[in-house]
Amino acid sequence: MKTVGIINVTGYAGVELARLLLRHPAVRITQVTGRSEAGKKLADVFPHLSELDLTIQPELESPSDVVFVALPHKAAAAVVPSLLATGARVVDISADFRLHDVAEYQSWYQVDHPCPELLSEAVYGLPELHRDRIREARLVANPGCYPTAAILALAPIADLINGPVIIDAKSGISGGGRSLVLTNHFSEVNENCMAYGVHGHRHLPEIVQEIAELRGNHLDAPSVLFLPHLVPMTRGILASCYVPLRDRVSEADVRQRFRAFYQGHPFARVVDAPPQTKQTLGSNFCLMYPTVDSRTGHLVVLSCLDNLVKGASGQAIQNMNLMFGWDERLGIDSIAVYP
Ligand SMILES: NC(=O)c1ccc[n+]([C@@H]2O[C@H](COP(=O)([O-])OP(=O)(O)OC[C@H]3O[C@@H](n4cnc5c(N)ncnc54)[C@H](OP(=O)(O)O)[C@@H]3O)[C@@H](O)[C@H]2O)c1
């Protein structure tokens, strides 16, 4: 059994990690941290985790084989170097190690990076693109929730993109975290739908970075318009991606391309009908439906996942499984909760 520490179990990503890892057959959660509830029994704060007899600590007290860091950006980067120094494998769920270019990070996140020397070592934790490198990694930068949905939707046709891509995405409220913010109150969100990040959302550079890498040096970086929306549900992301293509392609060819690209990737599933967020609730699957709009010739890809599972904690566990040489499905192959 490998030992696991979770930094920030008091956030949504952290507590979801605890829920999923509790049933993982090859690990044991030995320490959890969270400033606001330090000193309390985990079961008193989160009764659904009552099987775990742990006290929430202010900080990790001893080394673990793997540590999941579920802190906000900047706070995450501040703790990662000391964790690596203990010999732990680290999966960071924040944005701190996702971008390869420190200037890009600093301009989008408006903070100085405390350990830019680790950016070249960190592996972007999207197993469908970087599985072999994740296996060898000490530090994995778990992708953002919107980028996971968008990059998986665009990756199979990255080389065919010809013109601005539009990613119109909707997310449930848990994507905004557990901290109290006025815009996330029930009466603000219920029966409401709103766009945000209209002048640029921080997830955009990750999407561009990964798609540009897939296109290689001979093609321009893609031009991407990414517009997120908040909708009144707890979990889930639906990303509708509109893609102008270089050549007209048939729907059958596109679907074949998607299926071939994701062959052998258990959590990226090409589906035969437009997917819905409820079909991914609580599961680690990303469902994708590519279709060609015959009027414009645009490719439309609908991509759907649970932001806290494939968009965060489930994917983090998928990465851990790869880092330890296990089947990547271990502990995270449950199917969606329906209805
Ligand atoms: N929510 C999602 O769907 C999602 C998806 C993908 C990635 N992520 C990323 O995962 C990370 C955690 O997100 P989340 O949604 O779980 O957050 P969250 O629920 O908002 O958790 C935030 C908690 O972090 C702790 N915290 C805040 N500032 C801190 C600091 N400077 N130092 C230490 N602890 C601090 C606080 O808990 P205490 O006061 O108890 O310490 C706060 O309640 C973020 O980087 C986020 O971008 C989230």
**How far does the centroid of ligand 1 lie from the alpha carbon of residue 320, in Å?**
20
**How far does the centroid of ligand 1 lie from the alpha carbon of residue 219, in Å?**
37
| Residue among 256, 260, 251, 310 nearest 280 (CA) | 310
Query: Tell me, what's the pLDDT at 247?
Result: 85
Low-confidence spans in the chain with pLDDT less than 70 = none
- Percent share of the chain, pLDDT over 90: 97
Cα atoms found within 13 Å of the Cα of residue 268, Cβ hemisphere only? 22
Whose C-alpha lies nearest to ligand 1, atom 40?
Answer: 36
Angle at 204 between CA 137 and CA 292, to 5 degrees: 100
Q: How far apart are CA 329 and CA 229, in angstroms?
A: 30
**How far does the centroid of ligand 1 lie from the alpha carbon of residue 71, in Å?**
4
For domain 2-121, give its CATH number from 3.30.230.10, 3.40.50.2300, 3.40.50.720, 3.20.20.70: 3.40.50.720
Which 3-state string (H, E, C) describes 77-136? HHHHHHHHHCCCEEEECCCCCCCCCHHHHHHHHCCCCCCHHHCCCCEECCHHHHHHHHHH
Q: Where are the domains of the chain?
A: 2-121, 146-307
Query: Tell me, what's the pLDDT at 6?
Result: 98
Query: Tell me, what's the pLDDT at 217?
Result: 86
Ligand 1 atom closest to 35 (CA)? 41
Q: What does the pLDDT look like over 25-73, one tens digit per residue?
A: 999 999 999 999 999 999 999 999 999 999 999 999 999 999 999 999 9
CA 330 to chain centre: 18
With a Cβ cut-off of 6 Å, ligand 1 is lined by: 8, 10-14, 34-37, 70-73, 75, 93-95, 144-145, 174-175, 177-179, 307-308, 311-312
Q: How far apart are CA 206 and CA 189, in angstroms?
A: 27
Q: How far apart are CA 152 and CA 210, in angstroms?
A: 10
Ligand 1 atom closest to 12 (CA)? 16
* The CATH fold of domain 146-307: Dihydrodipicolinate Reductase; domain 2 (3.30.360)
Query: Tell me, what's the pLDDT at 219?
Result: 86
Q: Rounded to two decimals, what is the model's pTM?
A: 0.97
